[in-house]
Amino acid sequence: PNAADTALFSIKSDHTPKELEKIDKPIVIYTGHTDWRMDLDLMIEVIQKSSELQFLFVGPVSLPEERLSQLESFQNVLFVGTKHLKELPAYLYSSACAIIPYKRNELTRSIYPLKINEYLATGIPVVATPFSPDITQFADIISLADTAEDFRNHILASIRENTDEKGKMRRQRAAQNTWPERAKQFWELIETQGKTN
């Protein structure tokens, strides 16, 4: 499974990025490439019905012009472009919830998104579609939603019901998914195999 540099994301940033300083709504963040993986129909419906939320997209965009224009037409959508990895924690700590709204198909079924552990390392709530077996392994610590209505409801509930204790549990889960931890698991597998052969 994938892992992340959770140490970078576990250090709380008190810096508010300039683009976010005047936003007075809870921010729902997506980091990474906005591309073919994203369920745009779901996202557009969620955004349309969520004027009380600000949707923030951090990262490169590879969408057909028509679809990008659709997203950009909403007043509660902000694209800030690609940022250096070291800048991402400030955007995440300024947000109330993180999302992974991927389509469910044969291609996304094989995805273990690096961002899940980056999100969890900050302690903020996460809402995702159940697009792969890997993401559903986090069902005890994140919210999974199939439909736009459920996705929106889970975002609102996750923000409303968030606590310091829940944030601590998310950070603890992320700490199990670091690259050193993966290396340790790798060597344990090799040792186990060696004993059975």
Query: Among all chains, which residue has been given the structure tokens 């005890």?
Result: 140
How does pLDDT run across 177-191, given as a tens digit for each residue? 755 555 565 656 677
Nearest to 96 by CA among 52, 154, 159: 159
197 residues of the chain, pLDDT tens digit each: 555 667 789 889 889 999 999 999 999 999 999 999 999 999 999 999 999 999 999 999 999 999 999 999 999 999 999 999 999 999 999 999 999 999 999 999 999 998 999 999 999 999 999 999 999 999 999 999 999 999 999 999 999 999 999 999 999 999 887 555 555 656 566 777 767 66
In whole angstroms, what is the distance from residue 137 CA to residue 141 CA?
9
pTM check: above 0.85? yes
Query: What does the mean pLDDT of the chain come to?
Result: 92
Rg (alpha carbons) of the chain, rounded to whole number:
17
Q: How far is CA 153 from CA 36, 54, 76, 90, in A?
A: 24, 15, 17, 26
